[in-house]
Structure 1
Amino acid sequence: MTTALLYRPDTAPDYPTVSFELYPPRSLEPASSVWVGVNRLIGAAPDYVSVTYGAAGNRADSRDRSVQVLLKVLKEHPHLPAVAHLTCLGSTRGELQMIVRLLLHAGIRDFLALRGDMPPGGIDHIAPEHRLNRGVELVQLIREIAAEVCPEEVVSIAVAAYPATRGQARSNDIAALVEKAQAGADYAITQVFYDPEDYASMVRELRLAGCRMPLVPGILPLNDLRRLQALEKLAGVKVPEHLRTMLSQKDPRTRVADSLKATLDLISGVLDAGAPGVHIYSFNRPRPTLDLLEYLRAAGYLARKPRAENAQRQRPQRGPVDAELVGLALRHLTPAS
């Protein structure tokens, strides 16, 4: 099954999906600590995984390592959909054509099409006339090549959404999502946000614009203040003051418990708003992600739900996470390192 089928009304499962984003390990050795963690995540039976570019090295190195990891996952877990991240910036049009063909011929049928971030200094070494400059162009490119390479098969394309935007930036994002859907995008995965209402309002505005494309909320485990601050600098999404205070607590066990509860409240909020599932940014750290997954399953957050979108209004409102249930989920926890 390709990922698009997980979000279509006639083929979607009757439960919220759970998927993980993975980073390409520096080493492809199966005994490396990072690969052990990746295999633990895959062993938790997510609906799919996505493989992003690594943070180290130049763009070509990161891109090539990402492709290697995708092919390794595909070989070792042939029934697990693996989503390939592709970015416009950092590659020529010809390079992207080559990579898309390579991945399609290797059996990859799922892509996340992104514009990408400018490198340090704000200058891409590839001239604009030799690269794709907008995410919608990458969606179009993948569709064109897929129609040639595997015309009888379903190829899924996801794009990015930015729920934390406001005002004109939000309007621009909605217009971009509509354009990408018209170009052939199947669903969107959101970037980091901290308020469920940001997600819910973006869905409402997208529907008012006449677009039914599913939005899958991207969830970052709220357990590492330094990571949240780094993302604030990178993506411009301000860390709420209450999270800063919570993650600055001196007692590590209290900090771990409160961060788990905050993340679960966020997930509860988006599921109650009708989200079709969650995509967890794991950063290859299995413990926070698996703690979340264990709790979600045990507490019934991933229970069967009505397929019809109209029935989402009838889903019971869960409200804030029960502190006693969080305590049960923490029974095997020690302070995070």
Structure 2
Amino acid sequence: MKIGQLLKESKRSISFEFFPPKTPEGEESLFKTIKELEYIKPTFVSVTYGAGGSTRERTIRIVKKIHTQTSLTVMAHQTCIGHTRKEIVDILSEYKSTGVQNILALRGDIPQGQEESFVFPKDGCRYASELVELIIENFGDWFSIGVASYPEGHPESPDLDTDIFYFKKKVEAGAEFSITQMFFDNRYFYSFIEKVHKAGIDIPIIPGIMPVTNFKQIKKFADMCGATIPPELIKKIQPVADRPEEVEKIGIEYAVQQCEDLLKNGVKGLHFYTLNKSKATIKIYEAVKHLI
């Protein structure tokens, strides 16, 4: 099923993001998580793609396995930063041959430590908008294409207005929906939505939710992507930072409040960054499902 069509047909969507594990044990654990989450009947699930294409083979394998061995609609993340156009077309052709119809088109991150020395392939795409164009040029309407958006602006963007300008280019190129980078303060999301509507962008924009279950880890992610962790949340967590169960409890309670507020304000859906675990996501879903 195409996600663009599913979003048109559903009042609200629930979706989950996974990453491709590095070991057979990690893969077994991931599919245990998927089985535990399957009862929720998510609209779709997605699988990430490592910086510079570093997880290419693992991502392809996990996407194909979810598509062929579960009942779930799956979306493959596809970056362009480390690939030639031919390599991208080859990867997408493999997905098409399996029946996968959903792609999250991303520029992708420059591999850590290569920020100054990284060289873009000569016959590649420098921007996600070019990747969207490449997909449509080679595959027509086979794929439903999603893109990323950033309520607080992309870390490399000079300001939010500039970032929205480039977001619009992705939409004009053919993107059907967007999933946001994680955020913890809903005011950034509401302000962003107001700005994108004024810019003439009207595709479904699904907020990305990452419950704080490991403060050190989440703070690292937040610093990397420029997401603001509210002072009141930090204040609650700091006294119990060395007690993982307490941190997780506070993080889940906060995420429930965040999701309730978003749902009451009419968001199209919720996209959970699961970190390949089910416990926090299930607890949040069960607490807010009456609003979905």
- TM-score clears 0.5: yes
- Following superposition, the deviation at residue 129 of structure 1 comes to 2.1
- Which letter maps to 2:169? E
Q: Answer whether contact 1:89 1:124 (CA < 8 A) is retained.
A: no
Match of 2:10?
13
Distance 1:3 1:271 in 2: 20
- Which letter maps to 2:229? V
Q: Answer whether contact 1:224 1:247 (CA < 8 A) is retained.
A: no
RMSD across aligned positions (CA) = 2.3
Distance 2:291 2:213 in 1: 20
Tell me, yes or no, if structure 1 residue 239 matches structure 2 residue 229. yes
How many pairs are equivalent? 287
Counterpart secondary structure, 1:210: coil
- Following superposition, the deviation at residue 169 of structure 1 comes to 1.7
Match of 1:40?
36
Q: Answer whether contact 2:185 2:230 (CA < 8 A) is retained.
A: no
Pair 1:196–1:90, CA change in 2 (3 A):
same
Choose 178-187 or 264-273, whichever is displaced more: 264-273
Larger Rg: 1
Q: Answer whether contact 1:21 1:49 (CA < 8 A) is retained.
A: yes
Q: Answer whether contact 1:101 1:145 (CA < 8 A) is retained.
A: no
- Following superposition, the deviation at residue 295 of structure 1 comes to 1.6
User: Which of 172, 187, 200 pairs up with 2:190?
Assistant: 200
Report 1:324-335 matches (<5 A): none
Q: Answer whether contact 2:185 2:229 (CA < 8 A) is retained.
A: no
Q: Deviations over 1:88-117 (max 9, x none)?
A: 112222111111111112111100001111
- Which letter maps to 1:186? E
Pair 1:92–1:139, CA change in 2 (3 A):
same
- Which letter maps to 2:62? V
Unaligned runs of 5+ in 1: 303-337
Pair 1:210–1:253, CA change in 2 (3 A):
same
Q: Answer whether contact 2:214 2:244 (CA < 8 A) is retained.
A: no
- Which letter maps to 1:289? T
Match of 1:51?
47
Pair 1:29–1:229, CA change in 2 (3 A):
closer
Counterpart secondary structure, 1:130: coil
User: Which of 147, 162, 171 pairs up with 2:150?
Assistant: 162
Match of 1:215?
205
Tell me, yes or no, if structure 1 residue 3 matches structure 2 residue 40. no
TM norm structure 2 = 0.90
Pair 1:257–1:67, CA change in 2 (3 A):
same
- Following superposition, the deviation at residue 291 of structure 1 comes to 1.1
- Which letter maps to 2:37? L
Match of 1:93?
85
TM norm structure 1 = 0.78
- Following superposition, the deviation at residue 191 of structure 1 comes to 0.1
- Following superposition, the deviation at residue 125 of structure 1 comes to 5.1
Q: Answer whether contact 2:186 2:262 (CA < 8 A) is retained.
A: yes
Tell me, yes or no, if structure 1 residue 131 matches structure 2 residue 124. yes
Counterpart secondary structure, 1:270: helix
Q: Answer whether contact 2:21 2:27 (CA < 8 A) is retained.
A: no
Tell me, yes or no, if structure 1 residue 228 matches structure 2 residue 218. yes
- Which letter maps to 1:76? Q
Q: Deviations over 1:230-284 (max 9, x none)?
A: 1133212232222222222336665443322210111122223321000000010
Tell me, yes or no, if structure 1 residue 73 matches structure 2 residue 61. no
Unaligned runs of 5+ in 2: none
- Which letter maps to 2:216? R
Pair 1:234–1:253, CA change in 2 (3 A):
closer
User: Which of 255, 259, 279 pairs up with 2:271?
Assistant: 279
Q: Deviations over 1:127-179 (max 9, x none)?
A: 342221000001011111222xxx5x5x2111010002399521112111211
Q: Deviations over 1:277-301 (max 9, x none)?
A: 000000101111111112222xx12
Q: Deviations over 1:277-328 (max 9, x none)?
A: 000000101111111112222xx121xxxxxxxxxxxxxxxxxxxxxxxxxx
Counterpart secondary structure, 2:83: coil
Distance 1:202 1:83 in 2: 25
Consecutive aligned runs of 4 or more in structure 1 exceeding 6 Å deviation: none
Q: Answer whether contact 1:100 1:145 (CA < 8 A) is retained.
A: no
- Which letter maps to 1:38? I
